[in-house]
Amino acid sequence: MFAVIKTGGKQYRVAANDLLKIEKVEAKVGDIVEIGNVLAHGEGENVTFGAPFVDGALVTAEVVEQGKNRTVIAFKKRRRQNSRRKIGHRQLLTTVRIAEILLGGAKPSKKAAAKAEAKAEVAAEAKAESAPKEPKAKKEAKTEAAAGEEAKAAPLFKAPKGEPDDLTVIKGIGPVAAKDLAEQGIVTFAQLAKLSDKDVAKIDEHMPFSADQIKDWREQAKELAKK
């Protein structure tokens, strides 16, 4: 038996034990997730279509891996305007193995794993409601202190002393990207030029820039640092 499911805005034809990659699903490896958007199901030439979904149909799948797709580069250039823009994107993906295709409201043999975080959240809310409420002024002071601590989070790199360089001279770095880099301690061409592959991986992990982008900026910075 096969089924056609819809998840993450895409459609997939699946059967039991199929292994496929779908857009990220909030679950841990080993969890069973339920996909209720079944567009069609059938066996051989007998196919039943939904309008748009089949009533009572359900597909369950086991989460095998959480990961990322390969980096996709979008490059835009405007002729005679000295304008180039290069952006990288890595889609978050979840690898799942199809467990069961259920029809007519049948219940799965393995229940979808309960979210431990959700349970903890509900328990915390119940505890907060039963506990005596703090005065509003004290609560606001605590909130401001917590916000201050978060703002003081250490940057990825230590900014050097002296005047910063104008990083927007590098093609692909605009005012927003330059500000993001400065917040993480990168303010000069020399810093960008000396980034190691390990540093590039760290930026790729913690900032909205791809490794390919950073390596391109590094090469441009090497030339600018010589001037």
pLDDT tens per residue, range 26-48: 888 989 999 989 999 998 889 99
Distances (CA, A) of 59 to 6, 10, 15, 103: 10, 15, 9, 9
Between 148 and 205, the more confident residue is: 205
The Cα–Cα gap between 52 and 42 comes to: 15
Predicted confidence (pLDDT) at residue 225 exceeds the cutoff of 50: yes
Greatest alpha-carbon span in the chain: 74
Question: Residue 108's pLDDT is what?
Answer: 84
Residue 131 exposed, middle or buried by CB count within 10 Å (0-12, 13-18, 19+): exposed
Q: Which of 36, 29, 47 is nearest to 6 (CA)?
A: 36
The number of beta carbons lying within 10 Å of the beta carbon of residue 188 is 19
The Cα–Cα gap between 33 and 79 comes to: 49
Out of 7-21, 99-113, 194-208, which region has the weakest mean confidence (pLDDT)? 99-113
The Cα–Cα gap between 55 and 128 comes to: 40
pLDDT digits (tens, 9 = 90+) for 65-85: 999 888 888 888 888 778 888
With contact defined as beta carbons under 8 Å apart, do 59 and 126 qualify?
A: no
Domains and CATH numbers, the chain: 2-113 (no CATH), 118-151 (no CATH), 167-225 (1.10.150)
Predicted confidence (pLDDT) at residue 107 exceeds the cutoff of 50: yes
The Cα–Cα gap between 200 and 25 comes to: 27
Predicted confidence (pLDDT) at residue 143 exceeds the cutoff of 70: no
Six token digits for residue 159: 């900014």
Predicted confidence (pLDDT) at residue 152 exceeds the cutoff of 60: no
Q: Say which residue the tokens 């201050």 belong to.
A: 148
Question: Residue 89's pLDDT is what?
Answer: 86
